[in-house]
Amino acid sequence: MSILVLGTTALDTVTTPSGKREAMLGGSAVHFSMAARFFTQVNLVAIVGRDFPNKHIHFLLKKGINLTSLIVEEGRTFRWEGEYCGDLNTALTKRTELGVLSVFKPRVAESQRNIKNIFLANVDPDIQQRLLSHMRTPQLVGLDSMNYWIDHKRKSLLKLLKKVDIFVANDAEARSLSQETNLIKAAKCLRKMGSSIVVVKKGEHGVLVYCDDFLFSLPAYPIERIADPTGAGDTFAGGFMGYLAKVQKVNAKTMKKAICYGTIMASFNVEGFGVERSSRITKKDIDARLAHFKKMISF
Amino acid sequence: MSILVLGTTALDTVTTPSGKREAMLGGSAVHFSMAARFFTQVNLVAIVGRDFPNKHIHFLLKKGINLTSLIVEEGRTFRWEGEYCGDLNTALTKRTELGVLSVFKPRVAESQRNIKNIFLANVDPDIQQRLLSHMRTPQLVGLDSMNYWIDHKRKSLLKLLKKVDIFVANDAEARSLSQETNLIKAAKCLRKMGSSIVVVKKGEHGVLVYCDDFLFSLPAYPIERIADPTGAGDTFAGGFMGYLAKVQKVNAKTMKKAICYGTIMASFNVEGFGVERSSRITKKDIDARLAHFKKMISF
């Protein structure tokens, strides 16, 4: 079954030890879509300005992403500029230009309002809530957020958490929202806040998953040459939610496989700047790496 | 086949959010032995002072540890006092009293000089080198160290690295010695320094293993209630080296299982202060947790 993702479509300027790229295609909804497209039909809900290059629209359409609900508004596209140093785990934000994102009111085309699988990538929780209220029969809803909203829109976020099935957070966010340092305690606390499944992303250290029925952690796929970690979390979510949308079943087995697909998609993503690498891989590449990952962790 | 471990036998005073214990039995050789004893005959080489409680000697003997080469010297036993706060990942050393450790010259009983499996737990690399020179037919030699020696006895450590088979380091040590931030690059760099197998311990995030023939990472066993992380790394090494000494074969399969045993042993160790928990478990407990771990990471 198809999936709908709400998030940002951005122009990113990124500097890492591997180099610099200016105003390249990025944003949470884009990274998510580039991964999820391998598993299901992806419908992107986002906003861009008139300055958004046509070539990016063509690129996304060519990759099979449905852009019916991508709003093109007067103004400038959301832009982010960041730099990664040292261990590449943390981005230093150098500039953020919200542009049209500051007036974003998501609209979902009539034909898309019955989509059952939904991912609310990182935007203002009020916008995430508004999108969710447009959907007629949400069945599996995933949510991502960030420290800024945890600090500034905690109330809205907590309200939203009660309406979603899967909460995806990185370790710092999980700790911050739960006020627990031990990640298992943090995940249990987040579970009590509403979503029945909590997925804690630990970057190069892998993922921890908690729900009432199971708890497990898996390592990341080891990557030596990381070109650009931007979008790794959204790419992970894309592979993860895309696979769940495809199999339409949530249990320990499918969750584990979904996490593995997310892990593999993220491992490709970080090997290139922006969506450079994700745009060139095939399902065969993905399955070959998944098989290697499976072999790596089995004993 | 039996194993010989060189390291410290200490009296630890530890404070964690779970409480405080004064002058309890600790030290790298003790934690190592308490894990390795489940897999093979363990011979401990260390030094203690006259103040070392007899009950600890009886305890170790009762656990089957061979203490023939434990020196009891005039003076005070090595004492360490530390505190863990927050996420329990880092110990704050409050006091170190070297005592008899400052005059430690390891002696190996004649009957133990033919032991083929050796683990050089964290002490001065010159002492580790001296011990190694006593051994007649070393076959599988593991080495642990710490940042202090990397900074202050780099030359001795680099020389020793060429003589060992397995180098076990935590992530900070691996980065510091290799001057690489990416852990895979760090492991490859350490490999070039001598030891054919590099094991990078990442605490709650698991382990990364690198050698010419394979590269893999495994998560830690998720533990919610960590009482005291002291000795987790040595316990890991004990399970890991103990298993390898038992099977007497080093390949991808045995390495993975050895890493898993190390992981499981460390997960028990952190559930209690000092060796409280490690001293009470049985092989059945270990194998039950190993089976659960295996199930957790298979998909």
Give pLDDT tens digits for A208-261.
Answer: 999 998 899 999 999 988 999 999 999 999 999 999 999 999 999 999 999 999
Expressed in angstroms, the distance from the first to the final Cα of chain A is: 34
Residue B91's pLDDT is what? 86
Residue A50's pLDDT is what? 97
Return the bridge partners of B168, or none. B144, B199
B206 touches chain A (CB under 8 A): yes
Query: Which residues have CB under 8 Å from A83's CB, separation 6+?
Result: A14, A15, A16, A91, A92, A94
- For testing the chain A interface, which of B191, B200, B202, B205 should be mutated: the one with the most A CBs within 10 Å? B205
Give pLDDT tens digits for B85-126.
Answer: 877 878 889 999 999 999 999 999 999 999 999 999 999 999
Residue A90 has pLDDT above 90, yes or no: no
Comparing CB atoms, the residue among A88, A222, A294 nearest residue B299 is A294
Mean pLDDT of B157-173: 96
ipTM score assigned to the predicted complex: 0.75
Give pLDDT tens digits for B228-278.
Answer: 999 999 999 999 999 999 999 999 999 999 999 999 999 999 999 999 999
Cβ of A222 and B208 within 8 Å?
yes
**Which of B:252-271 have CB within 8 Å of A?**
253, 256-257, 259-260
DSSP letters for B50-68? TTS-HHHHHHHHHTT-EEE
Mean pLDDT of B279-288: 97
Mean pLDDT computed over every residue of chain B: 95
Side chain identity, residue A111: S
Cβ of B215 and A206 within 8 Å?
no
Give pLDDT tens digits for B128-145.
Answer: 999 999 999 999 999 999
Residue B239's pLDDT is what? 98
For B9, phi and psi rounded to 5 degrees? -120, 115
Contact between B163 and B193 (Cβ < 8 Å): no
Shortest CA distance from B221: residue in chain A: A217
Residue A11 has pLDDT above 90, yes or no: yes
B249 touches chain A (CB under 8 A): no
Give pLDDT tens digits for A26-49.
Answer: 999 999 999 999 999 999 999 999
Q: Band of the pLDDT at A88, cuts 50, 70, 90?
A: confident
A18 touches chain B (CB under 8 A): no
- Using CA atoms, how far apart are residues A26 and A36, in angstroms rounded to an integer? 15
Chain A partners of B223 at a C-beta cutoff of 8 Å?
Answer: 184
Cβ of A217 and B216 within 8 Å?
no
CB pairs under 8 A between A and B: 82
Higher per-residue confidence, B213 vs A141: A141
Mean pLDDT computed over every residue of chain A: 95
Domains of chain B: 3-146+221-242+258-297 (3.40.1190.20)
Cβ of B204 and A181 within 8 Å?
no
A202 touches chain B (CB under 8 A): yes
Contact between B150 and B34 (Cβ < 8 Å): no
Mean pLDDT of B291-295: 94
Burial class (CB in 10 A: 0-12, 13-18, 19+), A102: exposed
